[in-house]
Structure 1
Amino acid sequence: MSVFKSFIAFVGLMFVCASYAEPYDAELAKELDADDYGMKSYVLVILKTGENDESITDKEERAKYFRGHFDNMKRLADEGMLVLAGPLAEDAPKRGLFIFNVDSLAKAEALVKTDPAVKAGIFTYSLTKFYGSAALMKVNDIHKKIQKKPI
């Protein structure tokens, strides 16, 4: 099973498990902008190998772009715009994913274009709307509590 299919199965399992857990919390649902199903709209971004990936061979230059990539992800997460991010285990061309807390492809594209590695052509991307659990909005808060070392 591909990493993407595994991820979708995991999110679906989270939804099923959540539906049998605690009773409905109207205040939390409102805070997370959840609909009646506990879901909301996001935009899923798949990062792919860009046309300049192999041409940037200087280790310091690459490190600069990737440091900027991670710093940008942290900024977007702190602003509540980046819900989830991570590398994909498959080899190129698919390299990673973002899930943005926006409801339009145009807004997500504006956010992904702030990434220094995207600007440099190390990554390119594809965008698609994604309907998932509003509970994903709590991932970054929980992650801060379990992250021992900064990225």
Structure 2
Amino acid sequence: MKLIKNLLFIIVFVFISCQPKGKDEVDTQPVYNAGLAEKLKADQYGMSQYVMAFLKSGPNRSQDSISAVKLQKAHLENIGRLAKEGKLVLAGPFLDDGEIRGIYIFDVESMEEARALTKSDPAVKAGRLVMELHPWYGSAALKQVNELHKSIQKQNVTKQ
């Protein structure tokens, strides 16, 4: 009996979802945008190559609280600079207080360029963080995250 009810539910669901759209309903099927794909340097799948960096706890985490706060502020300012330059498409901390502290996703041509950018981070320079780099393949749309983020950001973390 339960099997019959489940089958009936599936049949009704399929029937309803296959009904033609009414005049007020909009078809939400995305339309390919060749101009945007070209701008974002997307491949045929809408994807792009990146370098992902895992920010890990470094060997020097013994800064006093004032120095640690200053270092964190400089670290966040560096993130903002890299994002503004278009080199960093995504960054953020992990919330579990583990060895891996956060991630960066770089939009760069090579691992060497990503390595040079990680060395510009004040927290890496101080030994508070170390970076582990990996080539990564993801949606080319990630390159629009920073612009979109500005429209939903109420307060800038570096101006607190």
Match of 2:152 among 133, 143, 146: 146
The AA in structure 2 aligned to 1:45 is: A
Q: CA deviation at 1:91?
A: 2.5
The AA in structure 1 aligned to 2:90 is: L
Match of 1:95 among 91, 95, 101: 101
User: What is the identity percentage for the equivalent residue pairs of Structure 1 and Structure 2?
Assistant: 49
- Structure 1: how far apart are the matches of 2:29 and 2:140? 15
Q: List, as ranges, runs of 4+ consecutive aligned residues in structure 1 with deviation greater than 3 Å.
A: none
Length-normalised TM-score, structure 2? 0.78
Match of 1:49 among 53, 57, 63: 57
The AA in structure 2 aligned to 1:134 is: A
Q: State the partner residue of 1:8.
A: none
Rg (Cα) greater in structure: 2
Q: State the partner residue of 2:17.
A: none
- Structure 2: how far apart are the matches of 1:37 and 1:92? 34
Q: State the partner residue of 1:31.
A: 39
The AA in structure 2 aligned to 1:94 is: I
Match of 2:76 among 70, 78, 81: 70
List gaps (5 residues or longer) in structure 1. 1-19
Q: CA deviation at 1:126?
A: 0.3
- Structure 2: how far apart are the matches of 1:97 and 1:90? 13
- Structure 2: how far apart are the matches of 1:96 and 1:113? 16
Once the two structures are overlaid, the 10-residue window that deviates more, 85-94 or 24-33, is 85-94
| Alignment size in residue pairs | 130
- Structure 1: how far apart are the matches of 2:29 and 2:67? 48
